[in-house]
């Protein structure tokens, strides 16, 4: 038993001596700086890898937020087209109507992140009684309810992207043709306590399509 323990101690001592010897050789031969450089480079490489992974993660999150917003814009586009097609919304030549999602709650629409607008000529909205009335009389809240069914159907409206204040869709009538445009804005142009903003501060549409009801 003692003999076996003695052998183990001798083996450990020999291994320690070997390690010390190799370390001494490396140091005396001037390789110490080179080895330090190797470890430093390895550390820098790991740092760059972690940095690259973090940047890739941020880019993926950014792309996912953009896709979520644009998918919801597609949903709004279908709602708006259906409303024009079934006569719930009527546009005069040169007029436009909008469905919009904003990153601030709208106190004039159940504190949801929804808004609406019209520009150009006249726009008529079918109200709760089934009558077409001028947009100025109906208001964007009637238009939103007419298009979406009621405000409960906009509960999921949100702006997922950082730096985007609002996004949405526009239908413009030009003669007998209609153009559906998808747009957003990275400018804070809210007015009247987030109940509206300047449509002309939108970026160039990121997608457009022509169609006929």
In tens digits, the chain (213 residues) has pLDDT values of 434 444 555 555 455 555 545 555 555 555 555 556 555 655 665 666 666 777 878 888 999 999 999 999 999 999 999 999 999 999 999 999 999 999 999 999 999 999 999 999 999 999 989 999 999 999 999 999 999 999 999 999 999 999 999 999 999 999 989 999 999 999 988 888 888 888 899 999 999 999 888
- Looking at residue 186, what is its pLDDT? 94
Structural tokens at position 168: 């949405």
Q: Which residues pair with 171 in a beta bridge?
A: 97, 180
If we measure between CA atoms, which residue out of 192, 202, 173, 158 comes closest to residue 69?
158
Q: Residue 120's pLDDT is what? A: 94
Q: What is the rounded CA–CA span in Å between residue 142 and residue 164? A: 26
State the pTM of this model: 0.75
Q: What's the confidence (pLDDT) of residue 25?
A: 53
Task: Provide the Cα torsion 38, 39, 43, 49; round to 10°.
Answer: 50
The pLDDT of residue 5: 42
Cα separation, 146 vs 110, in Å, equals 15
Look up tokens 């992974």; give the residue. 53
Helix (H) or strand (E) holding 134, with range, is strand 132-134
Report how far apart, in Å, the C-alpha atoms of 112 and of each of 108, 152, 200 are: 9, 9, 22
Q: Are strands 123-126 and 177-185 parallel, antiparallel or unpaired?
A: unpaired
pLDDT at 122: 95
Q: What is the pLDDT of residue 3?
A: 44
d(CA 41, CA 128) in angstroms, rounded, equals: 71
State the Cα–Cα distance between residues 99 and 67, nearest whole angstrom: 18
CA torsion sign for 183, 186, 188, 189 is: negative
The most distant pair of C-alpha atoms in the chain lies apart, rounded to whole Å, by: 106
Please calculate the CA angle 135-140-141 and round it to the nearest 5 degrees: 125
Q: By the 8 A CB rule, do 146 and 164 touch?
A: no
What per-residue confidence (pLDDT) applies to 196? 86
User: What's the pLDDT at 1?
Assistant: 46
How many residues in the chain? 213
């Amino acid at each position: 038993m003692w003999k076996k323990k003695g052998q183990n101690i001798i083996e450990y001592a020999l291994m320690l001596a070997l390690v010390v010897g190799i370390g001494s050789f490396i140091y005396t031969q001037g390789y110490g700086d080179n080895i330090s450089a190797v470890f430093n480079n390895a550390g820098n490489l790991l740092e760059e890898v972690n940095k690259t992974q973090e940047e890739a993660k941020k880019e993926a999150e950014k792309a996912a937020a953009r896709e979520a917003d644009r998918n919801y814009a597609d949903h709004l586009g279908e709602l708006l087209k259906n409303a024009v097609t079934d006569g719930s919304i009527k546009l005069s030549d040169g007029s436009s109507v909008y469905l919009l999602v904003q990153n601030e709650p709208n106190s004039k629409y159940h504190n949801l992140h929804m808004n609406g607008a019209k520009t150009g000529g006249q726009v008529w909205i079918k109200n709760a009684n089934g009558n077409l009335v001028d947009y100025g009389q109906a208001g964007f809240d009637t238009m939103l309810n007419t298009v979406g069914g009621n405000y409960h159907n906009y509960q999921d409206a949100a702006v997922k992207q950082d730096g985007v204040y609002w996004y949405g869709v526009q239908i413009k009538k030009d003669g007998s043709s209609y153009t559906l445009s998808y747009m957003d804005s990275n400018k804070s142009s809210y007015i009247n306590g987030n109940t509206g903003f300047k449509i002309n501060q939108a970026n160039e549409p990121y997608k457009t399509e022509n169609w006929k009801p």
